[in-house]
A and B are shown apart, each in its own frame.
Chain A
Amino acid sequence: MDSAIQIINNLTIGFTSQKGKQISILKNISTTIKKGETVGIVGESGSGKSTLALAMMGYVKHGLYTISGECLFHSNNLLEMKNKDLENIRGRKIAMIPQNAGQSLTPNLKIGYQIDEALKLHTDLKKEERDKKISELLNKVRLPSPEIMAQRYPHELSGGQQQRVAVAMALAGNPELLLLDEPTTGLDVTTQAHVLELLNFIAKDTGTSMVYVSHDLGAIAQVSDRVIVMYSGEIVLDGPVRSILKNPIHPYTFGLLKSIPKLTSPGLPDSMSGSQPQPGTIKTGCSFYERCNLAEDKCKNNSPTLEYIDDLNTSVRCFKYKELINVKETNLDIVKSINNDVLQNEILDISKVSISYAKQKFIDQLLNKIDDSNPTVQDINININKGETLALVGESGSGKSTILKSIAGLLKTKDGMIKFDKDKVLSNDLKMRDPGFLRAIQLIFQNPDESLNPNHTVEEIVSQPLRLYFGLKGDELKQKIIEVLEKVRLGEFYLTRYPRQLSGGEKQRVAVARAFAAKPDIILCDEVTSALDVSVQAAVLNLLQELKEDFGTTYIFVSHDLAVVRAISDRVAVLYQGRLCEIGPSKNVYQLPSHPYTEVLLGAVLEPDPDVKPKLVAEDIVEEMPPEKGCSFQGRCPRILGDICKNEVPPWQIGENGNSIRCHIKVEELKKQQNIN
């Protein structure tokens, strides 16, 4: 069990900057991967974790090169090996499962061919044997009807299926070591839980060693025996999963764990200030110095070394780790709960709204015929009170963003009505809307890289709503811009900057500032934190909450992340295939009894705790279209009753906690069934 498969010695990888300076991305990495072990490498974007994983295959990206050190696989240095020899190791001895399987499968080749290619390269099997093996592999990763699957092109598969194909391809060569680079990022919660469960099964079944790279501590907790935490190209902590996640003795890991919103302890997580330094900016001292609460003068000028602590079996790079050894696990819990001033004053009334993406065909348009079959979003009734935060949750395709777009006027509704401030009907057509209503409803998008014009400075970006809605000019305008920026904690110094000169968190702050500059009554937040790192996510969530308390703004918050939603919302609406399943105060929705879909979602959430396993209740099939009649969740429901679910739209029932559940099963019955599990 203890024999080493891969030994990395003092590995430093970097690039030469435009000024001719050598800049390191990885600094002096040394670690050993043992046989049968699963090692999780965790870090935020830019920490060098993917570069490290690729180096373990002897692959260094275009533009980067090895400065020093070695990567030994069975005592051969992969980084000095010829391509010819590497071809015999890659795929055969060490295999990679990529982050985005959709983009990592060659689009013009069939699934079967791509697996066959790996088999041809790495085994001596004959054609018929290989065909059999392909089916076997596809079966092993639990894809339905392998023969048909093999004939498909990558784009004909869903995200989860593509990821499974990538796993099957990696297993084709029967490797000793599997490298997984964020294999579940970008998948839906339930799919993610299923893929992780499959990986765990494969690790046990084949005894393969695994290196699991991820930014998600929840996923890492589920699969790893040992965890390596990386920060700014260095290993800062390395030890057994339980001790790392339950008693993190490095201040960065401690902060990281505190910044994750958790289902079990509701409220806003603490945020770490600042962001990871850019490669090449740190000259002396600890790279975490600027963000560290425990830092002292010594840390500024001296770089700590990785120190092995015997009784914890852990290595740590910190002078002050002793202060964290006795910190109890409960200190990681969240204490800051939200307390919104919700007025019993309705600000938005969405009634019977249906939205359809189906385009009217030209001929139908001429005949003035309307295609009224099966709209994407149907029969949405929600009232939102002033000062409230309402969250819309669901997996991809649940219609949550579609609803936001309709409220903002970007998408026409097919049926129903949206009323603002009790009786003012919002026109379906954006051009017909009163400018006052446009100002009142602002939108913040998921990805600030795409929502901020790259050719505008921060000043221009924030000035637009001020000029448009308030007609400000000159000094007055500038004064106001600075005021708004200070609200989101960006100084005057940012005025002349372009979006590309800002970090991800700063960019999202600018987007928040732009929304607040309009003094809106309602802000629509579309997955605003999902493109951000955990520590930055916590900061943005806290900022949104503070601004809300200052201005009494109402939020409609769309997210796929149930823990984030739990942290920030007063009320939650759960959507499946464009239909409401459950709605109610968030603390009640997160409690049983709940709608079977909510139950499935909650069960699949990954907590950063190796002792809390996800509960997989339903299959992770992807449905492309909502069913034409009956309950929207009938296709995946683990508690399906039969024909009644297929034919009749379920009624709304009031649960005992005051949440409304739309299900044919009686609430009492649901409670009984869910308590057993």
Chain B
Amino acid sequence: MLLLVLKRILLGFITLFIVSLITFSGVEVLPGDACTTYLEREAYGAALEACYERLGLNTPAHERYISWAAGVLQGDFGYSLSGEMRINDVLGPRVKNSMVLASASILIGIPIALLLGIITALWRDKLPDIIISTITIFSMTIPEFISATLLILIVAIWLEWLPGIVIVPTGASISELLPNIILPVIAISMIMTAHMARMVRSSVIQVMASDYVQMAILKGVPYWKMVFKHVLPNALLPAINVVALTIAWLLGGVVVTEVVFNYPGLGRLVIESISNRDLPVVQALAIILASIYVSINLIADLMTLMLNPRLKSLQIKK
């Protein structure tokens, strides 16, 4: 069991290593480099040489990769170009802000998704299912940038209930952030919740049709006891991995939504740094997003492993 966990963690690190290689070499092969971008028209002669010297760009690529990677391992992403700030200082508050947004969406989205999924499955083809399923399918098909824009139009502009864009400094505290994130959270969690609810629904329906549920009914187990003891544990197990994928996928949604709402998080930073050609920051972001992705999937795998008696005993036997 422990061996398996270690193996998974090792695999995660290998993935991250490959991601770092790809982003690093991607940045390398692009025409131009940090200095030409920074110096713009003055990028020639002595000024360029001095810049190369200062940023250490005149050493060979593999040496630069190693020193960069060593820095990353110690939690130091180096310097950003714009304003030559430490990337860590740029990232820190942004990461926090995005975390607040994402975790609020997850905390609200998952319970709602589970509830809706279970309700639609248990009342399959009846009125609650038809209504909820229509809504979930509808909200699944609208991309965030449209739903976000619509939300701003309706709630912020027509009804004037909530602010339409987020106007807080990057370093704002959580209590300052909270009233501002209501609309972004709704926009993000809509698609995610809909996806997960559909997934939970089909998983519950599948288990409800299984031989062991029929057997439980024929054994005289009361309905709700059957649902909680025989159906849900088995139906939600495969849902864990899908939930993880949805959360990972939510990262992409965060990028778009942050831009629409002008929210000072990672997503907006991605867009900003790409348009500023701030390559060190892009590199850092790629690594951070990849490690979030990897760790969420890792957690999901481990959870499935812990909860599934079948896999658990299989591992023990080995």
Contact = CB atoms under 8 A, between A and B. Distances in A.
Contact of B217 (A90, A109, A155): A90
B227 to A, nearest CB: 12
Interface in A634-655: none
Interface in A72-110: 83, 86-92, 95-96, 98-100, 103-109
Interface string A60-78: 0010000000000000000
Interface string B212-240: 11111111111100000110011001000
Name the residue in B210, B218, B223 with the highest tally of chain A Cβ atoms < 10 Å from its Cβ. B218
A121 B309 contact: no
A173 B211 contact: no
Contact of A105 (B212, B229, B313): B212
B127 interface: no
A122 B220 contact: yes
B304 to A, nearest CB: 12
Contacts of B211: 98-100, 103-104
Nearest to A121: B220
A106 B234 contact: yes
A103 B313 contact: no
Given A104-B211, A107-B212, A109-B229, A155 B309 contact: yes
B220 A89 contact: yes
A226 B34 CA distance: 90
Interface residues of B, number: 24
Given A103-B211, A104-B211, A169 B219 contact: yes
B223 A83 contact: yes
A90 B233 contact: no
Interface string A145-171: 000000001011000000000100100
Nearest to B233: A108
Nearest to B237: A108
A106 B216 contact: yes
A57 B216 CA distance: 13
Interface string A25-68: 00000000000000000000000000000100101001000000
Interface in A188-243: none
B218 A90 contact: yes
Interface residues of A, number: 34
A87 B221 CA distance: 7
A210 to B, nearest CB: 15
B305 to A, nearest CB: 14
B54 interface: no
Contacts of A105: 212, 215
Nearest to B218: A96
B313 A117 contact: no
A410 B212 CA distance: 35
Contacts of B214: 59, 98, 104
Nearest to B312: A153
A103 B218 CA distance: 14
Given A96-B215, A121-B219, A169-B219, A106 B309 contact: no
A110 to B, nearest CB: 8
A88 B218 CA distance: 10
B209 interface: yes
B236 to A, nearest CB: 10
A143 interface: no
A91 to B, nearest CB: 4
A92 B221 CA distance: 11
Nearest to A100: B211
B218 A91 contact: yes
Nearest to A117: B221
A173 B218 contact: no
Interface in B7-50: none
Contacts of B219: 90-91, 95-96, 117-118, 121, 169
Interface in B194-221: 209-221
A91 B222 CA distance: 11
A107 B220 contact: no
Interface in B60-115: none
Best-buried of B211, B220, B229, B230 by chain A (most CB within 10 Å): B220
Nearest to A169: B219
Contacts of A173: 220
* Most central of A59, A106, A156 by chain B CB within 10 Å: A106
A293 B213 CA distance: 44
A98 B217 CA distance: 12
A87 B220 contact: yes
Given A103-B210, A106-B234, A108-B233, A92 B220 contact: yes
B310 interface: yes
B23 to A, nearest CB: 29
B312 to A, nearest CB: 9
A153 B229 CA distance: 15
Contacts of B230: 106, 109
Question: Can you list the 7 inter-chain pairs with the closest CB atoms, starting with the nearest?
Answer: A91-B220, A90-B220, A103-B211, A104-B215, A91-B219, A104-B211, A96-B218
Given A98-B215, A103-B210, A108-B237, 12 more contacts: A57-B218, A87-B222, A90-B218, A90-B219, A95-B218, A98-B211, A106-B229, A107-B234, A107-B309, A118-B219, A153-B313, A155-B309
9 contacts: A54-B218, A57-B218, A62-B209, A98-B211, A106-B215, A106-B216, A106-B229, A121-B219, A153-B309
